[in-house]
Copies of this chain bind each other. A is one copy, B any other.
Amino acid sequence: MKQSNLFTKTRREAPKDEMAKNAQLLIRAGYIHKEMAGVYSFLPLGLRVLNNIVGIVREEMNAIGASEVLLTALQEKGVWEKTDRWDDKKVDNWFKTELKNGTQVGLGITHEEPLTQIMTEYISSYRDLPRFTYQFQTKFRNETRAKSGIIRGREFLMKDLYSFSKNDEQHKDFYEKAKQAYKKIFTRLEIGETTHVTFASGGIFSRFSEEFQTVSDAGEDIIYIDEKKGIAINKEVYTDEVIAELGLDKKDLVEKKSIEVGNIFNLGTKFSEPLGLNFTDTDSIKKPVIMGSYGLGPSRVMGTIVEILSDEKGIVWPEAVAPFKVHILALQSENESIKKVAEELYAALTKKGIEVLYDDRDLRPGEKMTDAELIGIPHIVIVGEKGIKDSVVEYKHRKTMKTELIPVNMLVNTISAKINA
């Protein structure tokens, strides 16, 4: 894409009321726009990143046999009353509104209830189990404080997966697969090393839930990590009893702030019982379905990546989620030989299926460099007056900021190799 066709521009300053580093950088670089606290629009660059994250998550969900659906934001009161989660005194972050006829409706905070309800129409026998269903859907949560940029939104994109099993064995089998899928996802997103499976409170049906916590000073959670054993404990269950139960020693545990990027819950029959999701088992006895839920917020993950991988110059995207793989800068775009080399390279890389942002704008060289570093595309190719005389261009790796000179005639192969590396 030619940068002159991108309607966004970088900005020197983020809005004054924006406190979060992730949103500050994303707004300054033109990825998102703040509509109000906790409510952000995604501009072309931002939507590309979000879609890349969604694509990775979708691949891993499909790989474990889950089926994608799309439920609704508008929620009917009745189904939530059955599980006692409608009353604002019970669940305090509902947005509610009403139909013309006065009927109160809510905006989905999560989707256990409506999906369980749907499943009652399709599950009746052990032959119908197991089922695994997920969606990417906009959730609405009326947060009192929404100061963490796109990490805690009042409106945000969520991937929520639910499993339906006939017994504990079937449930545990999928639970383990989903856990491994999450590990793969965070590894592919290049935040795997700083993301820890963390024991947290489990609710009614399970001693613990498991959270995926990414270490970051921007986090709202506190966890205690045993690096050697690869186990962490959320502060909410950090007691001597739990430490002993998990076979850990307090002196090996290091306290860190962290961001919860994913969670998995054993729901047991918490939803299937009140909503009547039953099946007839092989023994002809009617039993409630065993459920699990597996959440992961793509927009929150995007914010987390910005928090932990950016540097003082700007954003540093992992290749798998970057809006483009290569950023070509024609430093002096009025210089015909520079323009020619830049456009040939742009055409050649694009032809190879490599996504390129080509800065063809009429701006000073310094501004183009500053913009490229702020935007954070992994591979930067600088076509400028200095090198062009010797038929070389400068290559800069955004993450390490290391530069090298590459002969023009070796450019396409060298850059392609770096991307695949």
Residues of A within 8 A of B (CB): 5-9, 11, 30, 33, 35-36, 39-44, 46-47, 50, 65, 67-76, 95-100, 105, 107, 114, 118-119, 121-123, 128, 131, 133, 138, 140, 142-144, 154-155
Contact = CB atoms under 8 A, between A and B. Distances in A.
Contact of A47 (B11, B30, B70, B74): B70
Contact of A122 (B9, B142, B143): B9
Given A6-B67, A35-B114, A40 B72 contact: yes
A54 to B, nearest CB: 11
Contacts of A7: 67, 119, 122-123, 128, 131, 133
Contact of A44 (B42, B69, B73): B69
A71 B142 contact: no
Contacts of A70: 41-42, 46-47, 50
A72 B155 contact: yes
A67 B44 contact: yes
Contacts of A67: 5-7, 44
A-side interface mostly: mixed
Contacts of A133: 7
Contacts of A74: 35-36, 39, 140, 154-155
* 4 tightest Cβ-Cβ pairs between the two chains A and B: A42-B70, A41-B71, A97-B97, A95-B97
Contact of A142 (B69, B100, B118): B100
Contacts of A97: 95-97, 107
A68 B44 CA distance: 6
Contact of A72 (B35, B71, B123): B35
Nearest to A37: B99
A39 B118 CA distance: 14
Nearest to A111: B41
A33 B142 contact: no
Given A41-B72, A44-B67, A74-B140, 12 more contacts: A5-B65, A7-B128, A33-B121, A39-B72, A39-B76, A41-B70, A41-B118, A73-B140, A73-B155, A74-B155, A107-B107, A138-B138
Contacts of A154: 74, 99
Contacts of A36: 74, 76, 105
Contacts of A73: 73, 138, 140, 155
A344 B117 CA distance: 37
- Most chain B CB inside 10 Å of its own CB: which residue of A68, A72, A105, A119: A72
A96 to B, nearest CB: 6
Given A5-B65, A8-B122, A144 B100 contact: yes
A357 to B, nearest CB: 13
A109 to B, nearest CB: 13
A266 to B, nearest CB: 21
Nearest to A157: B70
14 contacts: A6-B67, A11-B121, A33-B118, A35-B74, A35-B114, A40-B72, A41-B71, A41-B72, A73-B140, A74-B154, A97-B107, A99-B142, A100-B144, A138-B138
Q: Which of A7, A11, A75, A105 has the most CB of B within 10 A?
A: A7
A130 B41 CA distance: 21
